[in-house]
Structure 1
Amino acid sequence: MEPRIASLQPLCRGKRFTFAQAVVEYAGRRFRRDLLLHPGAVVILPLLGDKTIMLRQWRPGCSCWLHELPAGTIEEGEDPAETAARELEEETGYRATRIEHLASFYTSPGTSTEKIHAYIADGLVKTRQRLEEDEIIRLEIIPLKEAVRMAVNGEIEDAKTITTLLLYAARTGLLTEL
């Protein structure tokens, strides 16, 4: 018998996420696990020639500034590619003429249902940035090689950004150039 979630009890609902307790059944046993129910998210690697747009974003979870790629939560009924296009423009003020799926991955499957969909965006056209009131963001346009070097050297601490940069670099041969 495969493990299964026998029941899911919401404990607390926030603006976007629900904290719940799952009862898991496996091999005649039942046990409880706490879960963060998450609708999923996207991360976008915007390409401006040989440069990329990075964010310096203040995050309350670590109470610190992090180097990140643009990202955001998937809204109800929204396709991940639509979320990627929307979040890119809102956070950076650039619209992409082409968005390509790179990969999808779970962020912390032991405690969260969040799955992130990574996209590459190019053919960028300048529009205007439209931040949400709770977003504290500074834009940085840096060479793509520098961003990858920062990920490899531990200067970037955001997992979705590290994963996306290194996947892209591995697939394009950029890792061998460092």
Structure 2
Amino acid sequence: MQSEHAKIRTLDSQVLSDDWYLLKKYTFEQQRRDGEWQRQSREVYDRGNGATILLYNPTQQSVVLTRQFRYPVFVNGHDGWLLEAAAGLLDNLDAEARIKAEAEEETGYRIERVERVFEAFMSPGSVTEKLHFFIARYDASQRVSDGGGMKEEGEDIDVVEMPFADALAAIGDGRIVDAKTIMLLQHLALSGRLNA
């Protein structure tokens, strides 16, 4: 049986932008099920891989989210302010180590133990990024700073602690529209760690 890789032939790649991250146009051929080779082209945005984490407190039945401005969402008709799970790019680091640092930078909680729950490609039609998803318990004793992100990276993040039931309701009423956050909240609901 022919491998799936043998059904793709990359013919050309062209850099369209290398400003913030890397945007390339690829021309390739794909062998269709009927055996015919079909030429296609796609623009592919490579921003590296990332990680995200949802902090939860089973005693308080609460979660910690962030609220920050996202310009791409703003230009698509939203006010731009999203409630999200803490997240960041790996920058060639180990996903677990990176998400612990990101959680502390953004939320102010120093988390020692995290649980990897799954990996997912968030926009596979155009973006190469694979996101590593984590959850972790938190409590007040782990709060080491106000969080808020790093000014030099343009971050100005609000830390939002909210009841888990309210976070789930926020998916339905449109206050939470970020895919990674929805996925983590639903995972937590399905896991039974918190009762909504």
Q: What is residue 117 of structure 1 aligned with on the other side? A: 132
Report the Cα distance in structure 2 between the residues aligned to 1:59 and 1:168, rounded to whole angstroms. 25
1:11 and 2:16 are equivalent in the alignment: yes
Q: 1:21 aligns with which of 15, 25, 31?
A: 25
Q: What is residue 85 of structure 2 aligned with on the other side? A: 69
Q: 2:56 aligns with which of 41, 47, 63?
A: 47
TM-score (norm: length of structure 1): 0.88
Q: What is residue 34 of structure 2 aligned with on the other side? A: none
Give the ranges of 4+ consecutive aligned residues of structure 1 lying more than 6 Å apart after TM superposition: none
Larger Rg: 2
Q: CA deviation at 1:9?
A: 2.7
Report the Cα distance in structure 2 between the residues aligned to 1:160 and 1:8, rounded to whole angstroms. 30
On the 8 A contact 1:5/1:22 being kept in 2, the answer is no
Structure 1 pair 142/106, CA: closer, same or farther in 2 (3 Å)?
Answer: same
Q: CA deviation at 1:14?
A: 2.7
Structure 1 pair 94/114, CA: closer, same or farther in 2 (3 Å)?
Answer: same
Q: Cα RMSD between the aligned structures?
A: 1.9
Q: CA deviation at 1:130?
A: 5.9
Amino acid at match of 1:94: Y
On the 8 A contact 1:41/1:74 being kept in 2, the answer is yes
Q: CA deviation at 1:94?
A: 0.5
Return 5+ residue gaps in structure 2 as ranges.
32-36, 75-79
Return 5+ residue gaps in structure 1 as ranges.
none
SS of the equivalent of 1:127 reads coil
